[in-house]
Chain A
Amino acid sequence: MGRYILKRVGLMLLTLWIIITLTFLLMHSIPGDPLANMARKLPEQIQQNYYQRYGLDKPVVVQYGIFMKNLITKGDLGESLVYPGRSVTETISKNSKVSGRLGIQALAMGVTIGITLGIIAALNRNRWPDFLVMFIAILGVSIPLFIIAALLQYFFTAKLELLPTTGWGKFKHTILPSIAMCFGSIATYARYMRSNVLEIVNQDYILTAKAKGVSEFNIIRKHIFRNAILPALTILGPQIAGIFTGAFVIERIFGIPGLGFYYINSINDRDYTMIIGTTVFFASLFIISQLVVDILYGVVDPRIRVSKNSR
Chain B
Amino acid sequence: METAFRPVAVENKEKEVIARESVSYWKDAWRRLKTNKVAIVAIFILATIVIMTIIGPSISGHDYKEINSSMINQRPSVEHWFGTDALGRDIFSRVWQGGRISMIIGLTGALIATVVGSIYGSIAAYFGGRVDTIMMRIVEILISLPYLILVILISIILDSRSIGTMLLALTLAGWCGIARLVRGQMLQLKQQEFIMAAEALGVKPWKIIVKHLIPNCLGIIIVAISFDVPGYIFAEAFLSYIGLGIQPPGTSWGALASAAQQTFIFHPYQLFFPALMIGLTMLSFTLLGDGLRDALDPKLRQ
Contact = CB atoms under 8 A, between A and B. Distances in A.
Contacts of B145: 15, 19, 283, 286-287
Contacts of B146: 241, 244-245, 282-283, 286
A245 B238 contact: yes
Contacts, number: 106
Interface stretch (B74-82, B90-98, B149-157): B149-157
Interface string A225-260: 000000000000000010011001100110000000
Contacts of A270: 156
A173 to B, nearest CB: 18
A145 to B, nearest CB: 8
A141 B257 contact: no
Nearest to B278: A144
For chain B, the bracket of interface size reads 35 or more
B149 A283 contact: yes
Interface centre among A15, A23, A146, A282 (most CB of B within 10 A): A146
A14 interface: yes
Interface in A1-57: 11-12, 14-15, 18-19, 23, 26-27, 29-30
Interface in B261-298: 261, 264-265, 268, 271, 275, 278-279, 282-283, 286
Interface stretch (B3-11, B107-115, B210-218, B240-248): B240-248
B156 to A, nearest CB: 6
Interface string B41-84: 00000000000000000000000000000000000000000000
24 contacts: A11-B140, A14-B141, A23-B153, A26-B153, A30-B157, A142-B282, A144-B254, A144-B275, A146-B257, A146-B261, A147-B257, A147-B275, A150-B271, A154-B264, A158-B265, A241-B146, A244-B146, A248-B148, A249-B238, A249-B242, A267-B242, A267-B243, A283-B146, A286-B146
Interface of B: 140-141, 144-149, 152-154, 156-157, 159, 230, 234, 237-238, 241-244, 254, 257-258, 261, 264-265, 268, 271, 275, 278-279, 282-283, 286
